[in-house]
A and B are shown apart, each in its own frame.
Chain A
Amino acid sequence: MESKKMYLYPVWLRIWHGVNAICIIMLIVTGVSLHYADMEYPFMSFGLSITLHNIFGVIALISYVIFFAMNRLFLNGLQYRMKLKGLMKRLIDQGKYYMFGYFKGEPKPFPISEENKFNPLQRVSYTVTMYILMPIVIITGIGLLYPEVIMDEVAGVNGIQLTALLHAIMGYFISLFLVIHLYVASVGKHPLKNYKSIVTGYHEHE
């Protein structure tokens, strides 16, 4: 098959992705350092972590708003819609491919096209991350930045505690997403091919 190029990631998406990646990585590092703050093993000063976490959190918020708006305005948003019917089967097919088919050299069950650039697993995990985890982590984060706005008590439990707990758990899932995301992006003919795409915007067909 001759090599064919597809333009999958427009400039705005690539810029968003870069900014977002830097922010999320910084937020994870500082967030972990806050959550596991310790007297004897200071990884990073608590005050510095708070400051950095606040700054990158606000940038991530802005970048998220841009992502959200652009996906509403442009067709890229359609990539995040899916039919629920048969979804489970499609997910399992893709999972099987990653676990077995890929090693046997079978063809991709859901080849990439410009209209359909994600495989089912990507589609679900990107959608869940971008439209469930990110909003929750951002909203709880704003709450913690302005703790005055948080309810004192929800069903007998300290409101700030609930908010912080939710924030930490969502942040944790996003870290988990990042690890898997980074690894899965390396699955392919050439491990670095997909990383190149998110920088140049072009996807080279195999």
Chain B
Amino acid sequence: MNMKNLIFTLLFFAVAMFQSSFVKAEGEEEKVEMSPENRHCLQCHGNKYYSFYNEVAERTEHKLMNPYFVIDSVSYLQGEHQGHYCTDCHLEDYNTYPHAPELKLEPKISCLLCHDFSAIEEEVSQSVHYEALGDQFHCELCHDPHSNKIVKSNIEELIEYNNSRCLNCHNNIDKYQLLVSHKNPEILKTHSWLPNQTLHFQHVRCIECHTAVNDTAEALHHILPKEQAVRKCVECHSTNSMLSNKLYKYEKAKDPKGGFYNTVILNDSYVIGANRNKYLNNISLLIFALTFGGIFIHIVMRIIKRK
């Protein structure tokens, strides 16, 4: 390839790449748009700073927004309530600023007002959290109504998103101590018995170990006391790995391939003990048997010849 061709080729790829990213960005934007009504709220709640006209001082003021009151519009538009107006869940009175002081006293809306999740509610009320903290521990602590979504496409993403639900609070001393006065146990320290922790937390969900065995939408809300958490490695690291029934239950139907046990896991992980291969195991046993057979015959010959 001469110099000119090379330059043209590179140019071609550059243009192609630019175009494809351009097209993609456009496609994403088309899906859902933030309504103008929501934009009104987000001009303050979408940023670190907000400004408003102070009628008493008669000037525009710039202020810091409480970081916990910032709504990320990107994840809002990916969440399952993407199509909702803010005022579907919050009172219309929020349209005026300063917000009226009574609004602070108004209880926030609950998921349960619009959805019938009574079976889940039942399980949540049996979880360690509810038992320790009661009503304070509401659904929204794990499901941010402004971004909650169900990830089903990609296991790795699903795990990360799911664990962030727990880690958002268990790794955040401020949020944690909003509920209890004692110190946040450090997740990494309390799980120091688990080797390759980062790898584990990337490949299994917290609820794998912290809920009962069956993985229904309801049962996975029943967080057990820590004494009952899974600690036995072989629960996962064996041919009848519970991962096949929990994390990978949706994919269970797939055929085993190449003689591996628990094939469904293999797309994302290799779990020692759970993913052994039937064929290889059989061949290896056969070779060992032949070797020992050969040695045995040799020994017999030695004994016979010695006489």
Contacts and interface: CB of A to CB of B under 8 A. Distances in A.
A176 B288 CA distance: 7
Contacts of A45: 233
Interface stretch (B99-107, B178-186, B218-226, B236-244): B236-244
B237 A46 contact: yes
A188 B109 CA distance: 87
Contacts of A47: 193, 195, 233
A161 B275 contact: yes
B304 to A, nearest CB: 8
A4 interface: no
Contacts of B268: 158
Given A47-B193, A147-B196, A176 B291 contact: yes
Interface in A163-205: 164-165, 168-169, 172, 176, 179-180, 183, 187
B273 A34 contact: yes
A38 B302 CA distance: 40
Contact of A37 (B193, B238, B295, B301): B238
A72 B203 CA distance: 43
Contacts of B284: 172
Contact of B276 (A36, A147, A176, A179): A36
A45 B195 CA distance: 14
Interface in B251-295: 266-270, 272-277, 280, 284, 287-288, 291-292, 295
B287 A158 contact: no
Given A46-B233, A147-B196, A179-B291, A35 B276 contact: yes
Among A37, A54, A183: residue with most chain B CB under 10 A: A37
B128 interface: no
A32 to B, nearest CB: 10
A179 B292 contact: yes
Among B195, B198, B233, B274: residue with most chain A CB under 10 A: B233
Contacts of B234: 37-39, 42, 46
Nearest to A35: B276
A62 interface: no
Contact of B269 (A38, A158, A165): A158
B108 interface: no
Interface string A103-126: 100000000000000000000000
A160 B270 contact: yes
A184 B235 CA distance: 41
B63 interface: no
B177 to A, nearest CB: 32
Nearest to A147: B199
Among B272, B288, B291: residue with most chain A CB under 10 A: B272
Nearest to B277: A165
A173 B113 CA distance: 64
Contacts of B280: 165, 168-169
A161 B266 contact: yes
A172 to B, nearest CB: 5
B233 to A, nearest CB: 4
A97 B37 CA distance: 93
B273 A161 contact: no
A39 to B, nearest CB: 5
A21 interface: no
Contacts of B277: 165
A50 interface: yes
Interface string A48-61: 00110010000000
Interface of B: 193, 195-196, 198-199, 232-235, 237-240, 266-270, 272-277, 280, 284, 287-288, 291-292, 295, 298, 301-302, 305
Given A36-B276, A158-B268, A161-B275, 15 more contacts: A34-B237, A35-B272, A37-B238, A38-B239, A38-B273, A39-B234, A45-B233, A47-B193, A47-B195, A50-B233, A161-B266, A164-B270, A165-B277, A183-B298, A187-B302
30 contacts: A34-B273, A35-B272, A35-B276, A37-B234, A37-B237, A38-B238, A39-B234, A42-B234, A46-B232, A46-B273, A47-B193, A47-B195, A50-B195, A54-B195, A103-B301, A147-B196, A147-B199, A148-B198, A148-B199, A161-B270, A164-B272, A165-B277, A165-B280, A169-B280, A176-B287, A179-B291, A179-B292, A180-B291, A180-B295, A183-B295
